[in-house]
Amino acid sequence: MDPVRGRRGFFKPCKLQALAMHPYATDMYEGMLAETVMLQGYGGDFVNAYFARPLGPGPFPGVVVIHHMPGWDELYREMTRKFAHHGYLALSPNIYYRFGHGSPEDVAAKVRGSGGVADDSVIGDAEGSLRLLKSLPLSNKKVGVFGTCSSGRQAFLAACRLKGFDAAVDCWGGRIVLSKEELTPKQPVSPIEYTKDLSCPLLGLFGEEDQNPTPQHVQLLEQELKKYGKMYEFHMYPKAGHGFFYHDRPAYRQEAAIDGWKKLFAFFERYLRGPS
Amino acid sequence: MCTGIVETAEVSGSGKGPQGWFKLEQVNVSYDHPSDAQLEHALNIDFVNQNEGPSARVAVELDPASARKLVEAILAALSRGEA
């Protein structure tokens, strides 16, 4: 029985397995379910989440998709479905749930005016998402975490502060390297200080023209990763700045985005679907 | 980048949002990613009433030069009106 909705999808298992591992062929069966679900997050609170998954018996790897500062928006729903399209159980928790409800940009503005969302709250929601994904009978028990911009930072934090992720992707996460003056009650620790606790391989995608993280910030993080012998893979794209995946923004850089998604999926395939 | 740069002030007055006029209690001024303006960063101004939920908001997203013109225009109008 379907663990989330209590119903089965129509599928052809052999074809679906191929779907997860290889590019599409026109004779493949394709199916996806995408919907809002509830999960237990930080402090035991129930928060809503957007869950997209391929139909079929699996097992599938999972990805926790942490949305960016501009909100739990259409772009992140697209990205969540993109992961499902590539054969992942993709779960995007609404980390702004506690700030109320309205249009994504209105809620994001409220969060911005409130000084942002607390790191502890995001980590709690990421932990709840990880727990839910691993509990599913459809799961292959491997889960990654992904984020861009502020959520790239949060994906890195989650991979450091939580045990159980098998791979992490940080796309241009800023504010990983913070001075004492930049710390706030909601962000009380500079994330780079957690590097020694990183518990899984890390992929980082960055733009050479980004102001935060600057290439110097990325170098500092890389030095820490080397210092503690962590597995990581960083790519710095020329002629790209912050947010080069965002096809609805002027920061979009087609060549870097296409290559970045390829590298991202190759990374997740290696660590989330490959042999243990 | 996500700058996290935000300044807030208590204000009183009225704003017109999607549900009509509402009482303003706070303005949030940030220099960060805009939602709609095709800029990497904008000077975002949100007039809000936190007690009426996230949609009680009047928002503008300006490029920095426009924001400076707005500041000058406000100060000029105030100066003439209060003279």
CATH number of domain containing A58: 3.40.50.1820
**Helix and strand numbers, DSSP H then E, in chain A:** 7, 8
Radius of gyration of chain A (CA): 18
Is A105 at the interface with chain B, CB within 8 A? yes
Specify the amino acid at residue A189.
Answer: V
pLDDT of residue B37: 94
* pLDDT(B29) > 70: yes
pLDDT of residue A56: 87
Q: Which domain holds residue A49?
A: 13-273
Q: Token digits for A258?
A: 């296409």
Rounded to a whole number of angstroms, the distance from the CA of B28 to the nearest CA of chain A is 6
Is B2 at the interface with chain A, CB within 8 A? yes
In a domain? residue A125:
yes
Is B9 at the interface with chain A, CB within 8 A? no
Q: What is the DSSP letter of A3?
A: T
CB within 8 Å: B28 and A109: yes
CA distance B34 to A109: 10
**What ipTM goes with this model?**
0.88
Spatial CA neighbour of B58 closest among A74, A105, A73 = A105
In a domain? residue A255:
yes
pLDDT of residue A23: 63
Count interface pairs A-B at CB distance under 8 A: 81
Q: Token digits for A183?
A: 């710390």
Provide the residue ranges of all domains of chain B, joining segments of one domain with +. 5-81
Spatial CA neighbour of A5 closest among A136, A126, A97 = A136
CA separation (Å) from A24 to A21, A27, A63, A83, A147?
9, 8, 21, 14, 26
For B63-80, the DSSP string reads -HHHHHHHHHHHHHHHHH
Query: Under a CB-based contact definition with an 8 Å cutoff, are residues A237 and A259 in contact?
Result: yes
B32-56 mean pLDDT: 93
Query: Under a CB-based contact definition with an 8 Å cutoff, are residues A86 and A265 in contact?
Result: yes
pLDDT of residue A70: 92
Residue A97 buriedness (CB in 10 A; 0-12 / 13-18 / 19+): buried
Quick one: CA torsion of A267, A270, A272, B2, rounded to 10 degrees?
-10
CA distance B34 to A242: 13
pLDDT of residue A276: 60
Query: Under a CB-based contact definition with an 8 Å cutoff, are residues A87 and A54 in contact?
Result: yes
Give how many domains chain A has, as a whole number. 1
pLDDT of residue A19: 41
pLDDT tens, N- to C-terminus, chain A (276 residues): 333 333 333 333 334 443 444 467 888 888 999 999 999 999 999 999 999 999 988 999 999 999 999 999 999 999 999 999 999 999 999 999 999 999 999 999 999 999 999 999 999 999 999 999 999 999 999 999 999 999 999 999 999 999 999 999 999 999 999 999 999 999 999 999 999 999 999 999 999 999 999 999 999 999 999 999 999 999 999 999 999 999 999 999 999 999 999 999 999 999 999 776
Mean model confidence pLDDT for chain B: 94
Is A190 at the interface with chain B, CB within 8 A? no
B32-45 mean pLDDT: 93
Query: Under a CB-based contact definition with an 8 Å cutoff, are residues A68 and A92 in contact?
Result: no
For A135-149, the DSSP string reads HSTTEEEEEEEEEET
